[in-house]
Structure 1
Amino acid sequence: MKINNIKYFAFAAMLGMSATSCESFLDRPAEDTYNESNFYQNDLQCVQGVNYLYNSPWYDFQRGFIKVGEVLSGNYYMGSSPYLTFTVNGSDEDLKNMSSSLWAVNGHANTVYNRLKSANASEKVKNQCMGECLAWKAMAYFYLVRSFGAVPIIHDNTAELGAGNYNSSKRVQAADVYEYIILTLEKAIELLPAKGDAGRIDKYCAEGLLAKVYLTRSGITGTRSESDLNKAAEYAKDVIDNSGRHLLEKYSDIFRMQNNKNEECLFSWHWNAGRDPWTQQNTLQSDLAMVGFDEFGDCWGGYGGMSVDLQDAFGVNLLASPKERIDVDERRKATMMLPGDVYDYFWTDKGGFNYLKFIYDKDGYGKGGPNGQLQSATGANSVKHLYGDAYDHEQALGTSAANMANGLSTHILRLADIYLIYAEAKMGLATSTTDASAIDAYYAVRSRSVASATRPASITWEDVWKERRLEMAMEGDRWYDYVRLSYYDAQRAITELKSQRRNSYWGLDAVYKEYYTNGTYTVTSSQLYNTQDPIPNVTKSSFTLPLPTEDLVFNPTLMDEPIHVDIRNTYSY
């Protein structure tokens, strides 16, 4: 927590952003018209004052979201990234930005929450907006504790500054941080409406997050807590039965721009395509898409790609001809591009996006793209977090994208996750279950994407574990599954991570080019999986990321042993 950040978040409730339309999450007060005396004077202004919590403070977390959630977990290959090799240190720029962003969310949520208490607006809207602040604050702390372990609790930024504690805040034991998150979500649930406007957090969204918090905390002592698992199942079941939300019929529709505020998504970052001010926009396409995927000169992610290990999980073997590939799971194509894939929802002005044609037709269809050469070292490129080209963006949102700026929402908690949380939590301390409701929840998720799936008579922990990976790959979540597993079975998490195929292939470009040119697919000994790179040195300490070095310099007490705090007798809302 940098001192300049703390001061800013304690004394500024808004970023200086002009209003657009009343329905937009970017509808906010203009800087030149806002001050403490003339804002929060009606219901609309209260809603405007919360809107930016759905995007701007989260902006600098975007790269950490992928690098921690997906590269560290073995879902995504990113060259010599320290996240791939478990060599991240406190000076890493993306780690620093990630930490700063999460503390920014907490600071903004605290400030807006406190200001809303005295707003001149209806109690209904004030409560709704205060509940949204607390829900986002809880989400930020949930990322913080799972990423860094013990962290300080900054309950009220203004109070911390007034007391002069901003450079001496002590880390609090992780178990107590989880209790603080639960306290925060309980208050959010009390304040939030049962049903909010599309895309906004409501009571059931907060309950879904609370279910995930209980599931994660259940192993924090080293053995799983049956009472925490029961709580996770209880809250998840309430969301499933009573929220009125349903899984979308088609998996890939979840991630399309026209479905930015779809009912399956409980927590989402809702972005705007503008760059003024910076931080309101989604830039993930730039980091994940192949060069030339859009017209703005801002795509450089083609050299990364889905890991061979994730391909294995989906049953993909790139050393076999695409003509032999049978996709039984539609999530595969919605997650990774492979030779032979064509997408009707990208490049709709050109009749769809053809993966190999884009790479190898360098003078026509793929002009300005990869220039006739496969970029991905694993032979697969990302699909999630891509919106397509300028035409696709305009058709979906009615506005233009820009260089490093698009309006595709990023979904960070979905109903499918809640179904799988319920299935796992319902097992309790067992490793399998025949409980009909747990099986139904698991089967609802699996059967949506696997047409051949049949309802099983029982499910195991391993079934749910794998299903979580396939369902939420590239959604910034997989590493945190390993973190919660490490709480009570670190050796299992270590063994699995060490056994992953995290490295690259050799020579796939020649194979792909031959297949595109004449339809043959010839693999030789020069096109094999790279086994020469070392297995990452994963240890128990690997599941806690280092705090940014500059934070330790600013606040040396962060190096002290974490303290215990009686949360319920110390904090209240």
Structure 2
Amino acid sequence: MFNFKFRIMKKIKYTIFGSLLLLGVLTSCTKDDLDLKPISSTYEEEFYKTDKDILGLVLGVYDGLQAIPMREFTLTEMRSDNATSRIHEGEYQQLETFNVDPTNSVSAGYYTANYNVIFRANTVLAHIDVMKDAAKKVNYIAEAKFSRALAYFNLVRAYGEVPLVDKLVTPTETTYFVKKPVADVYALIEADFTGAIAGLPSRTSTTFGRATKGAAQGLLAKVYLTQFKYSEALPLLTSLINDTSSNKYSLQTLSPPTLEAYKSVFYTEANNEILFAIPFVNDSRFESQDFSIQMTIAGNALNYATANLRTFLTVNSTTDLRFTTNLLTTVGATSTSYGQNNKFTKNSIVAAQAGNDWIVLRMADVLLLYVEAVMGTGTSTNDAAAIAAYDKVRNRSFVAPVVSTSITKTMLLDQRRVEFAFENQRLYDLIRFGIANTVLSAYSNTFTTTKDLLLPLPQSEINSSKGLLVQNPLY
């Protein structure tokens, strides 16, 4: 966690003090948006004196978030029955075959990227008291807590017990190397998202890409569902669904249903379905992403549909309009001649500088999470509101709309699989629905039940902790 490798990421620079990540330089800027403008460098104790200085720190948190989705799909989709690589080599092969080594640099990079966000959020909170603008102070605190909660949610689902760092620490505070129980991590996540809800603005009162109250509500609901706290999740989801204000989120829809409605979720950016996304910009050296090109032959040919997913999607390929958005097909293609996902196809000029935003949470997820919360520990529901939510998502993309009479747990999971293919949901859905061991054992003869649902902690972090950080079981 503390053995971060420094690099220039976008426009933010860092320095190393001992073995800990200490902030050297952060940006400042002249307007309240996500375009970071570096102006100077100095030590942090001399720098953070004004509201603009703190804004620079807040924007640095969002900058850190951009690193998270770069290879996240290799740790989620490629560790499920959804995705594979076409190279089947090296560290990516470890991920798709559930044989991840503690020295795997892809996993280590993800671990580092999330703790980097946590560090940046803690830096905001440590220096927030210099703020003069009381309203913006509340907002910045909420943004920092939102981002810290999101990063810890990523970490606890991927690694289980992890070190819990809720403040800036020094190299001598070695207790922060020790893993904390999963319950403690979730307690911080819940507290942070709850605090964020109280301090964040509505969707229409801030810049796209910055945290909102609705995004915090939706993510907190998912946190509750991950812990099977159905009654706690339900009112948050109900509030988002029943919102009739100008700030409401809504599905991208067209009547009658067409291919463009679902496709537009991903290719019409900043649309009303998105509760939170990490923005990128086409052909920008500092504001672009390369995961789009990595998912093609021109890159490393990663995140390709498995034969299992292709078969699943093909069942309704003539009636489900999501098929051609999820899979890149060609005229005359057979079931074995395509596999590349089509959700994040670049439209940039420079191949490795794509501008496709990464969607963290959207309204379709809220609607299906609502069904899950209503169903609770049951295996089905005939609740009218839950059925309406389910049909709203399903019928958005089907040529022939239906009116369901009941929803089973299997139907809900299948709907989530096709709706969120390649969106890094499948593995955690299987775990949350309690069938990961069954499904993944049937899918892969290299899957080991229980152990492979968590990644190993990076060996570099264990080494730098001098034995205080203990590896996950069976690794």
Change in Cα spacing, 1:4 to 1:544, as seen in structure 2 (3 Å) is: closer
Contact 1:13–1:108 (Cα < 8 Å) also in 2: no
Contact 1:26–1:52 (Cα < 8 Å) also in 2: no
CA displacement at 1:335 relative to structure 2: 1.2
Aligned residue identity for 2:320 = D
In the alignment, the residues of structure 1 paired with residue 107 and residue 427 of structure 2 have an alpha-carbon distance, to the nearest angstrom, of 14
Say if 2:293 is the partner of 1:382: no
Say if 2:241 is the partner of 1:200: no
1:267 corresponds to which residue? 276
CA displacement at 1:327 relative to structure 2: 2.3
Written as runs of structure 1 = structure 2, the 5 A alignment for 1:40-55 is 41-42=50-51, 46-55=54-63
Change in Cα spacing, 1:304 to 1:114, as seen in structure 2 (3 Å) is: closer
Of 236-245 and 7-16, the range deviating more from structure 2? 7-16
Say if 2:2 is the partner of 1:2: yes
Change in Cα spacing, 1:35 to 1:90, as seen in structure 2 (3 Å) is: closer
2:97 corresponds to which residue? 85
In the alignment, the residues of structure 2 paired with residue 61 and residue 434 of structure 1 have an alpha-carbon distance, to the nearest angstrom, of 37
Contact 1:271–1:408 (Cα < 8 Å) also in 2: yes
Say if 2:438 is the partner of 1:495: yes
CA displacement at 1:10 relative to structure 2: 5.8
CA displacement at 1:27 relative to structure 2: 3.0
TM-score (norm 1): 0.71
Say if 2:354 is the partner of 1:406: yes
Say if 2:474 is the partner of 1:558: no
Q: Which runs of 5+ in 2 are unaligned?
A: 6-15, 254-260
1:115-156 alpha-carbon deviations (Å, 9 max, x no partner): 223223x22222112211111110100010000001111010
In the alignment, the residues of structure 1 paired with residue 69 and residue 252 of structure 2 have an alpha-carbon distance, to the nearest angstrom, of 27
Contact 1:419–1:441 (Cα < 8 Å) also in 2: yes
In the alignment, the residues of structure 2 paired with residue 385 and residue 546 of structure 1 have an alpha-carbon distance, to the nearest angstrom, of 28
Contact 2:274–2:359 (Cα < 8 Å) also in 1: yes
In the alignment, the residues of structure 1 paired with residue 262 and residue 117 of structure 2 have an alpha-carbon distance, to the nearest angstrom, of 30
CA displacement at 1:403 relative to structure 2: 5.1
Change in Cα spacing, 1:304 to 1:272, as seen in structure 2 (3 Å) is: closer
User: Counterpart of 2:109 in 1: which secondary structure?
Assistant: helix
Alignment equivalent of 1:244, drawn from 248, 251, 256? 248
1:462-499 alpha-carbon deviations (Å, 9 max, x no partner): 111111111111111211222333xxx3xx32221133
Superposed CA RMSD: 2.9
Change in Cα spacing, 1:194 to 1:378, as seen in structure 2 (3 Å) is: same
User: Counterpart of 2:265 in 1: which secondary structure?
Assistant: helix
1:180-238 alpha-carbon deviations (Å, 9 max, x no partner): 110111111121123432332111110100000000011xxxxxxxxx10111111111
1:432-452 alpha-carbon deviations (Å, 9 max, x no partner): 111111111111111111131
Q: Which runs of 5+ in 1 are unaligned?
A: 219-227, 292-298, 317-324, 342-355, 357-373, 391-401, 501-533, 563-573
Say if 2:232 is the partner of 1:253: no
Contact 1:304–1:381 (Cα < 8 Å) also in 2: yes
User: Counterpart of 2:130 in 1: which secondary structure?
Assistant: coil
In the alignment, the residues of structure 2 paired with residue 98 and residue 245 of structure 1 have an alpha-carbon distance, to the nearest angstrom, of 30
2:167 corresponds to which residue? 156
2:257 corresponds to which residue? none
Written as runs of structure 1 = structure 2, the 5 A alignment for 1:327-342 is 327-340=318-331
User: Counterpart of 1:117 in 2: which secondary structure?
Assistant: helix
1:288-343 alpha-carbon deviations (Å, 9 max, x no partner): 1233xxxxxxx442x76211111122125xxxxxxxx95211211111112329xx
Contact 1:54–1:268 (Cα < 8 Å) also in 2: no
Alignment equivalent of 1:99, drawn from 102, 111, 132? 111
CA displacement at 1:97 relative to structure 2: 0.4
Between the aligned residues of both structures, percent identity stands at 26
1:289 corresponds to which residue? 296
1:177 corresponds to which residue? 185
Say if 2:455 is the partner of 1:545: yes
CA displacement at 1:49 relative to structure 2: 3.4
CA displacement at 1:60 relative to structure 2: 5.5
User: Counterpart of 1:382 in 2: which secondary structure?
Assistant: coil
TM-score (norm 2): 0.85
Aligned residue identity for 1:288 = M
2:256 corresponds to which residue? none
In the alignment, the residues of structure 2 paired with residue 448 and residue 40 of structure 1 have an alpha-carbon distance, to the nearest angstrom, of 50
Written as runs of structure 1 = structure 2, the 5 A alignment for 1:518-537 is 535-537=445-447
Written as runs of structure 1 = structure 2, the 5 A alignment for 1:21-32 is 22=31, 24-32=33-41
Contact 1:46–1:125 (Cα < 8 Å) also in 2: no
Change in Cα spacing, 1:304 to 1:239, as seen in structure 2 (3 Å) is: closer
1:372-431 alpha-carbon deviations (Å, 9 max, x no partner): xx9x976221212222242xxxxxxxxxxx452232211111111111111011112211
Change in Cα spacing, 1:114 to 1:15, as seen in structure 2 (3 Å) is: same
In the alignment, the residues of structure 1 paired with residue 166 and residue 314 of structure 2 have an alpha-carbon distance, to the nearest angstrom, of 47
Contact 1:167–1:554 (Cα < 8 Å) also in 2: no
Say if 2:137 is the partner of 1:126: yes
Contact 1:422–1:438 (Cα < 8 Å) also in 2: yes
User: Counterpart of 2:368 in 1: which secondary structure?
Assistant: helix
1:233 corresponds to which residue? 234
Contact 2:304–2:339 (Cα < 8 Å) also in 1: yes
Written as runs of structure 1 = structure 2, the 5 A alignment for 1:270-349 is 270-273=279-282, 280-291=287-298, 299-301=299-301, 305-316=304-315, 326-340=317-331
Change in Cα spacing, 1:300 to 1:435, as seen in structure 2 (3 Å) is: same
User: Counterpart of 1:473 in 2: which secondary structure?
Assistant: coil
How many aligned positions are there? 444
Alignment equivalent of 1:468, drawn from 407, 412, 416? 416
Change in Cα spacing, 1:304 to 1:95, as seen in structure 2 (3 Å) is: closer
In the alignment, the residues of structure 1 paired with residue 144 and residue 317 of structure 2 have an alpha-carbon distance, to the nearest angstrom, of 46
In the alignment, the residues of structure 2 paired with residue 9 and residue 471 of structure 1 have an alpha-carbon distance, to the nearest angstrom, of 41
In the alignment, the residues of structure 2 paired with residue 182 and residue 41 of structure 1 have an alpha-carbon distance, to the nearest angstrom, of 30
1:71 corresponds to which residue? 78
In the alignment, the residues of structure 1 paired with residue 25 and residue 387 of structure 2 have an alpha-carbon distance, to the nearest angstrom, of 46
CA displacement at 1:271 relative to structure 2: 2.2
Contact 1:305–1:378 (Cα < 8 Å) also in 2: no
CA displacement at 1:61 relative to structure 2: 4.8
